[in-house]
């Protein structure tokens, strides 16, 4: 095993050494792409700083009422204060935990129901109009129902699932239906069962769709959690936002919103890294 590993490493080294250097045109294109990526990053940073500076100036000069909008320089002291008391970590963890649970349940249920619809044309024809109507309904209408059914704690999870599961079903099912029918015919010709077609042809072929559903679903689950926390929770960033607005402490509201933005960005980047690793694995 060690000998084979060293031989493989030696072959890769020889191949890399024998590879021709990139052409001048290709090297120039790579430098241009690097400059463009740097320019995009710098522009993003400048835009963010410009928005924060404009917000600070407008609030300090009372062009806008700082009592209603707060200002960026008040966010950092509030952040430190909430961190020192332990309130912010607790609320952030409550929102993150509920989002991950809702996201996991909605993805599992969405993929399972999409697979059922693909498996049975009868089930698809029966359930399709109900799924369309359920997806079109304003989910905030379910908040009092979930509160009565599930209580103040679990109604947040219910909202996360309700907002994200239906779009997951529709996106994943369309991915299943988009599989090349010639691949399915080939599998049938080779004697594959329907379960084998699902697990060996449809699911692997739908990896890009599943990754797209993950990226959409993580944001929708977070929206559902925040909506649930607005209405019925006693913890979480949504509760912190509502509680701060009720007592006109907009610095707390803005701090919670900033933390919420960072949390959503981190979760999205985690899904993006998973997507990159998965695409690299399937293309290797």
Largest Cα separation within the chain, whole Å, is: 76
- 254 pLDDT more than 70: yes
Most confident of 11-20, 61-70, 86-95: 86-95
Q: CA 178 from chain center: how many Å?
A: 23
Instruction: Assign 240 a pLDDT band (cuts: 50, 70, 90).
Output: confident
- 33 pLDDT more than 80: yes
By three-state DSSP, how is residue 240 classified? helix
**Cα radius of gyration (the chain):** 25
Give the torsion sign (CA, 281, 282, 283, 284).
Answer: positive
By three-state DSSP, how is residue 47 classified? helix
Give the torsion sign (CA, 134, 138, 141, 146).
Answer: positive
- pTM here? 0.76
The Cβ of residue 124 has, within 10 Å, a number of other Cβ atoms equal to 16
Q: Which two tokens stand for residue 31?
A: 């430098």
**Residues 253, 236: Cα–Cα separation, whole Å:** 12
253 and 82 in contact (C-beta within 8 Å)? Answer: no
What value does the mean pLDDT take over residues 123-133? 87
Percentage of the chain exceeding pLDDT 70: 90
Q: Which pLDDT tens digit goes with each residue over 140-165? A: 888 888 888 887 778 888 888 888 88
Q: How far apart are the first and last CA of the chain?
A: 22
What is the model's pLDDT at position 9? 44
Among 120, 150, 118, 154, CA closest to 229: 154
What is the model's pLDDT at position 1? 41
Q: Which pLDDT tens digit goes with each residue over 71-123? A: 788 788 888 888 888 888 888 898 899 999 999 999 999 999 999 999 988 88
Instruction: Assign 10 a pLDDT band (cuts: 50, 70, 90).
Output: very low
168 and 215 in contact (C-beta within 8 Å)? Answer: no
Q: Supply the DSSP string of 210-262, one letter for each residue.
A: HHHHHHHHHHHHHHHHHHHHHHT-SSSHHHHHHHHHHTT-HHHHHHHHHHHHH
- The residues near 252 (Cβ < 8 Å, ≥ 6 apart) are 78, 82, 240, 241, 243, 244
By three-state DSSP, how is residue 131 classified? helix
99 and 221 in contact (C-beta within 8 Å)? Answer: yes
Q: Which pLDDT tens digit goes with each residue over 174-217? A: 888 888 888 888 888 888 888 888 888 888 888 888 888 888 88
What value does the mean pLDDT take over residues 21-32? 78
What value does the mean pLDDT take over residues 226-241? 82
140 and 124 in contact (C-beta within 8 Å)? Answer: no
**Residues 70, 32: Cα–Cα separation, whole Å:** 41
Instruction: Assign 52 a pLDDT band (cuts: 50, 70, 90).
Output: confident
Q: Which pLDDT tens digit goes with each residue over 72-83? A: 887 888 888 888
**Residues 130, 140: Cα–Cα separation, whole Å:** 18
What value does the mean pLDDT take over residues 57-82? 81
What is the model's pLDDT at position 283? 53
Alpha-carbon distances of 88 from 83, 241, 255, rounded to whole Å = 5, 11, 9
């Amino acid at each position: 095993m060690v000998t084979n590993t060293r031989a493989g490493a030696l072959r890769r080294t020889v191949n890399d050494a024998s590879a021709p250097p990139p052409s001048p045109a290709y090297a120039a294109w790579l430098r241009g792409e690097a400059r463009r990526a740097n320019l995009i990053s710098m522009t993003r940073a400048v835009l963010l700083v410009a928005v924060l500076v404009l917000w600070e100036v407008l609030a300090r000069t009372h062009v806008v009422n700082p009592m209603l909008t707060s200002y960026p320089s008040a966010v950092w002291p509030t952040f430190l204060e909430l961190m020192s008391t332990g309130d912010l970590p607790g609320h952030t963890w409550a929102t993150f935990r509920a989002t991950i649970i809702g996201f996991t349940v909605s993805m599992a249920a969405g993929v399972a129901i999409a697979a059922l619809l693909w498996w049975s044309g009868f089930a698809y024809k029966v359930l399709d109009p109900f799924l369309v109507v359920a997806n079109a309904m304003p989910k905030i209408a379910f908040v009092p129902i979930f509160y009565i059914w599930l209580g103040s704690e679990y109604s947040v999870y219910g909202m996360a699932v309700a907002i994200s599961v239906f779009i997951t079903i529709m996106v994943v099912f369309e991915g299943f239906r988009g599989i090349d029918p010639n691949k399915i015919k080939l599998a049938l010709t080779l004697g594959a069962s329907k379960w084998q077609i699902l697990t060996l042809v449809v699911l692997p072929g739908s990896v890009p769709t599943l990754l797209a559903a993950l990226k959409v679903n993580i944001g929708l689950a977070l929206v559902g959690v925040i909506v649930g926390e607005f209405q019925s929770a006693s913890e979480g960033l949504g509760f912190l936002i509502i509680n701060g607005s009720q007592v006109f402490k907009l610095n707390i509201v803005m701090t919670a919103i900033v933390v919420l933005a960072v949390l959503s960005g981190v979760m999205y980047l985690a899904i993006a890294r998973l997507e990159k690793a998965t695409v690299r694995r399937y293309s290797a």
